[in-house]
């Protein structure tokens, strides 16, 4: 007699997407500011790292402007991993623990397999982005790649509006993919030690569950980063770690877990 099939029990707590409001991104920013001011020394260290990244980006734009968009994608790739140390600081503060520089720098060492897979996925996107950028330049500048001055002239020349629109559209597609895949995946790996696929799928679920709010969050990130790059990129020393801490709270504000719900009920609190 055939034994009826019984599906296996679910392994581990399940993630649930919170319903977000328009005020949520601004609350994440405020919480990130509070975390930054509690341990400014750690924040300054990461801020200087972001500053050096900005200087590298400026150097590439000056000498090889056709690679600028792909370098931006590289910064979008490296930035969240660099910010993992900031996530660790916010995580420890949330749990009532004392963060320190050593734990911040070494927080990734127990998550290498998951992080390696996520790095691979994002690197493929970065390479595709770089190739697409070169193709756009090649199509619109068939006489050769323009210099830095030529790129600036192309951007502000009304005759090249098609180039600008295509360039921004291609960059926007890849930026949206990178943002969607990584908006909560890296802090989730740090927090729950999940595999990369589960983290990426959860990240996309967050985006699709609260698309308009996440668009606002992405726009705020973009505006603050671009604003921090002027003048001389000095603002990124503060804005970079601020947004790193805020991104941790974006994850915590967007995703809740079944075990946390049970704990909240046991303690008699509403979450």
The confidence score (pLDDT) of residue 187 equals 93
Nearest C-alpha neighbor of 108 from the set 144, 82, 132: 82
- Taking the C-alpha atoms of residue 193 and residue 216, their distance in angstroms, rounded to an integer, is 28
Q: Is the peptide bond before 231 cis (omega within 30 degrees of 0)?
A: yes
- Taking the C-alpha atoms of residue 6 and residue 2, their distance in angstroms, rounded to an integer, is 12
pLDDT of 55 strictly over 80:
yes
The C-alpha angle 92, 95, 100, rounded to 5 degrees, equals 20
Question: Which residue would you say has higher pLDDT here, 199 or 75?
Answer: 199
Query: In this predicted model, what pLDDT tens digit does every residue of 176-205 receive, in sequence order?
Result: 888 899 899 999 999 998 999 999 999 999
- Taking the C-alpha atoms of residue 65 and residue 214, their distance in angstroms, rounded to an integer, is 30
pLDDT of 149 strictly over 60:
no
Other beta carbons within 10 Å of 77: 19
pLDDT of 35 strictly over 70:
yes
The confidence score (pLDDT) of residue 26 equals 98
Q: How confident is the model at residue 98 (pLDDT cuts 50, 70, 90)?
A: very high
> Percentage of the chain surpassing pLDDT 70?
79
Instruction: State the average pLDDT over residues 89-111.
Output: 91
Question: Which residue would you say has higher pLDDT here, 5 or 252?
Answer: 252
Q: How confident is the model at residue 67 (pLDDT cuts 50, 70, 90)?
A: low
Nearest C-alpha neighbor of 247 from the set 255, 236, 237: 255
Q: How confident is the model at residue 53 (pLDDT cuts 50, 70, 90)?
A: confident
What's the Rg (C-alpha) of the chain?
21
Other beta carbons within 10 Å of 172: 10
Are 113 and 68 in contact by the 8 Å Cβ rule? The answer is no
The confidence score (pLDDT) of residue 150 equals 60
The confidence score (pLDDT) of residue 148 equals 57
Query: In this predicted model, what pLDDT tens digit does every residue of 205-238 receive, in sequence order?
Result: 999 999 999 999 999 998 998 899 887 889 999 9
Q: How confident is the model at residue 136 (pLDDT cuts 50, 70, 90)?
A: confident
Are 186 and 87 in contact by the 8 Å Cβ rule? The answer is yes
Residues written for the chain? 271
CA distances to 152, 169, 197 from 132, in Å: 19, 11, 25
């Amino acid at each position: 007699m055939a034994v009826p099939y019984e599906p296996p029990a679910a392994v581990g707590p399940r993630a649930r997407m919170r319903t977000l409001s328009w005020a949520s991104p601004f609350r994440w920013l405020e919480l990130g500011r509070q975390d930054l001011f509690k341990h400014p020394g750690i924040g300054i260290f990461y801020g200087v790292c972001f500053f050096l990244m900005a200087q590298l980006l400026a150097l590439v734009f000056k000498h090889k402007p056709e690679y600028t968009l792909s370098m931006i994608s590289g910064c979008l790739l490296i930035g969240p991993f660099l910010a993992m140390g900031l996530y660790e600081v916010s995580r420890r503060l949330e749990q009532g623990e004392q963060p320190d520089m050593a734990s911040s720098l070494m927080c990734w060492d127990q998550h290498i397999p998951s992080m390696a897979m996520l790095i691979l996925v994002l690197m493929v996107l970065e390479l595709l982005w770089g190739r697409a950028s070169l193709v756009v330049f090649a199509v619109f500048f068939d006489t050769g790649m323009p210099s830095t001055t030529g790129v600036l002239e192309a951007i502000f020349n009304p005759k090249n509006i098609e180039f600008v629109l295509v360039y921004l559209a291609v960059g926007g597609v890849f930026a949206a993919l990178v943002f969607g895949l990584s908006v909560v995946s890296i802090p989730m790996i740090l927090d729950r030690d999940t595999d990369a696929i589960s983290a990426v799928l959860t990240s996309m679920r967050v985006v699709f569950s609260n698309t308009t709010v996440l668009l606002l969050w992405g726009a705020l990130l973009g505006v603050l980063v671009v604003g921090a790059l002027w003048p001389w990129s000095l603002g990124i020393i503060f804005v970079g770690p601020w947004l790193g801490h805020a991104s941790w709270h974006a994850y915590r504000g967007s995703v809740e877990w079944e075990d946390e719900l049970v704990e909240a009920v046991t303690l008699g609190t509403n979450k």
